[in-house]
């Protein structure tokens, strides 16, 4: 709840006129408690888990030629019932674990200093903090993910997430309840180290989940904007991790690829890429020698 009774009082304290976004924020949040604002995350997560994967579900069912050629594992198809069952399992875990965790974690948010007042952060401040959050989460998630692929971690916890060897958007948050709790630590660590505004915190939680859905989409679209992000792994990169399955020791990164490269845990993936590239070149040369034409296709794991 903002400590101002009116816009005029807020402007007097800040010694300037409020920006348009600050006026909107004041009108929305002035009489709402910080706890209520924090709990918006529950609504955001519900909407993201429910709505963002829907276009992918549509593509999986309709198998439109223009999009289907970008499916990474084209031989694996899930029925509508199977995908809805996945969504139901995710929602059950959301109601039993994610939602309650959000409700009881508010004191930690206050302790680390997530603020709700004015002034609002600049666009540059928001972007720089989000970049830090992604880097911190990516590094810590990498090591936790590696731990979950040891014999005990995989058999007791992580095998649930790997039930989908060809991931779909709804399967991004599909996991054992213990994994959900454990992987909440990297997501919270960035805001704890570099606390910002509640709006930045909302954006961070939303973008991280949308990114997870993207990497579990099962499609490698050439027009995806994420292909312009340096060191970004993407769907094809993480799909290989699920494709190998079991005790896979490759492609642990959650967002970027630099940890896998530095610690040598992308060798299997890079070897696979070389083999696929060689086969593609041999096929192209063979077809051209026979006077045919070669239609370029994305590398796929059949």
Helices 54-62 and 80-93 cross at an angle (nearest 10°) of 160
Partner residues linked to 256 by β-bridges: 232
pLDDT < 50 regions, the chain = 293-298
How many helices (H) and strands (E) the chain has is answered by 16, 0
* This model's pTM is above 0.85: yes
pLDDT tens track for 38-83: 999 999 999 999 999 999 999 999 988 889 999 999 989 899 999 9
Domain boundaries, the chain: 1-32, 33-289
Paired with 71 in beta bridges are 219
In the structure encoding, which two tokens stand for residue 114, read together?
Answer: 């997530």
The string of pLDDT tens digits covering residues 121-153 is: 999 999 999 999 999 999 999 999 999 999 999
């Amino acid at each position: 709840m903002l400590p101002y009774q009116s816009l005029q009082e807020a402007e007097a304290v800040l010694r300037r006129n409020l920006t348009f976004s600050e006026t909107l924020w004041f009108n929305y949040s002035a009489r709402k408690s910080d706890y209520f604002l924090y709990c918006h995350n529950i609504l955001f997560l519900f909407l993201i888990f429910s709505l963002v994967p829907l276009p992918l579900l549509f593509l999986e069912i309709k198998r439109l030629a223009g999009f289907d050629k970008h499916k990474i594992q084209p031989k694996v198809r899930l029925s509508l019932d199977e995908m809805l069952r996945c969504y139901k399992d995710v929602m059950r875990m959301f109601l039993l674990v994610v939602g309650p965790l959000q409700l009881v974690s508010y004191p930690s948010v206050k302790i680390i200093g997530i603020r709700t007042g004015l002034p609002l952060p600049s666009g540059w401040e928001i972007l720089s903090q989000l970049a830090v959050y992604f880097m911190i989460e990516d590094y810590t998630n990498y090591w936790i993910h590696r731990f979950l692929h040891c014999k005990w971690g995989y058999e007791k916890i992580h095998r649930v997430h790997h039930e989908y060897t060809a991931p779909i958007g709804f399967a991004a948050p599909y996991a054992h309840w213990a994994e959900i709790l454990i992987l909440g630590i990297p997501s919270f660590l960035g805001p704890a180290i570099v606390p910002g505004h509640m709006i930045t915190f909302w954006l961070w939680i939303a973008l991280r989940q949308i990114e997870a859905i993207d990497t579990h989409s099962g499609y490698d679209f050439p027009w995806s904007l994420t292909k312009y992000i340096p060191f970004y792994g993407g769907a094809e990169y993480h799909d290989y991790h699920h494709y190998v399955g079991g005790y896979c020791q490759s492609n642990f990164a959650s967002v970027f690829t630099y940890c896998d490269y530095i610690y040598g845990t992308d060798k299997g993936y890079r070897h696979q890429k070389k083999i696929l590239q060689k086969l593609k070149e041999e096929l192209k040369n063979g077809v051209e020698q026979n006077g045919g034409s070669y239609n370029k296709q994305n590398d796929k794991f059949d």
